[in-house]
Amino acid sequence: MQKNLLIVSLALFLLGTNGVADELEIKLIDESGNSGLVQDSVQGCDDEKEKEDTCSKEPEEVILGKLPTSVQFTDHAEIADLENKLRNVLAELSALKKEKNENLQTIARLNSMIETLSSQKSNYSKKEIVETGIKEIVVETKQRRKRLPIAKEIKVVEEYGDHVVVEVQNGESLSKYAKKYYGNKNKYYKIYKANRDKIPENLEIIIGTHLTIPLN
């Protein structure tokens, strides 16, 4: 009798173990779709319905993208933090101006906002002036990019047996390069890995940058 009970218990244990294993396997399969290596939800410039964070951008647009989207004026520390962020953006934009004699109006606006934060105006007035200024800069920056012509063909600057070097143009994305050279836009990650020193984790690429595209 005890022997039979032992056999039944062992059988139930094995069945239970297999059930757990099956559940674990299903769980792993279900979660694999969350991998960051698949670009199904990141189309960049290829899909107007998606956010264009991966779309190529002008250097100044990348810098201005660091402007805060909302501002708080509840205490002096928050005002000081906002002023510091504006100064950092201004410094980067001013450094870029040495290479490109542009953005003078934007630089003047940033200087004006920083002066406003240091003034004796009320916090309400400061908030209104700075929020309006940032909004105008963001809108005008996006409008400038829309006026740029979209490249019809990928610009190849160097060709080798195992890779090519392309120059990023307006309207391009890693998805577009992957589609061209691998026949699959979801293989964008091969290009990202080959250019980690030039492409941030958000896959933002800057117009004029030279990217290496592996061919094997």
Q: Tell me the per-residue pLDDT of 43-92, one tens digit each, with 9 for 90 and over.
A: 445 444 443 345 777 777 777 777 777 676 666 777 788 888 888 888 87
203 and 141 together in one domain: no
The confidence band for 194, taking pLDDT boundaries of 50, 70 and 90, is: very high
Q: Are residues 63 and 138 in the same domain?
A: yes
Residues 50 and 155 in one domain: yes
pLDDT confidence tier of residue 98, bands split at 50, 70 and 90: low
Q: Look up the domain containing 187 and give its range.
A: 40-57+149-216
Q: What is the pLDDT of residue 45?
A: 56
pLDDT category at 213 given cuts 50, 70, 90 is: very high
Per-residue pLDDT at 32: 30
What CA–CA distance (Å, rounded) separates 169 from 207? 5
pLDDT of residue 54: 59
Alpha-carbon distance of 189 to 187, in angstroms, equals: 5
- 99 plus 141 within the same structural domain: yes
Instruction: Identify whether residues 187 and 215 lie together within a single domain.
Output: yes
71 and 124 share one domain: yes
Q: What is the mean pLDDT of residues 116-126?
A: 83
Helical packing angle, 76-97 and 123-147, nearest 10°: 30
Looking at the DSSP bridge assignments, the partners of residue 214 are 163
- In the chain, how many domains are there? 2
Examine the pLDDT at 6 and tell me if it is beyond 50. Answer: no
pLDDT tens sequence across 32-52: 333 343 334 334 454 444 433
Instruction: Kindly report, residue by residue over 128-177, the tens digit of the pLDDT.
Output: 888 888 888 888 877 777 777 777 789 999 999 999 999 998 888 898 89
Select from 122, 147, 172 the last residue of a domain.
147
Give how far Cα 102 sits from Cα of 8, 29, 59, 107, 130, Å.
Answer: 82, 51, 11, 9, 22
Where a domain ends, among 111, 128, 147?
Answer: 147
CA–CA distance, 190 with 126 (Å, rounded to integer): 47
Q: What pLDDT was estimated at residue 113?
A: 86
C-alpha distances in Å from residue 97, one per residue of 105, 118, 148, 204 = 11, 25, 19, 21
Same domain, 97 and 153: no
Residue 2 lies in a domain: no
The sheet carrying 210-214 orders its strands as: 155-159, 163-167, 210-214
Task: Answer yes or no: is 9 within a domain.
Answer: no
Q: Is residue 142 domain-shared with residue 66, that is, in the same domain?
A: yes
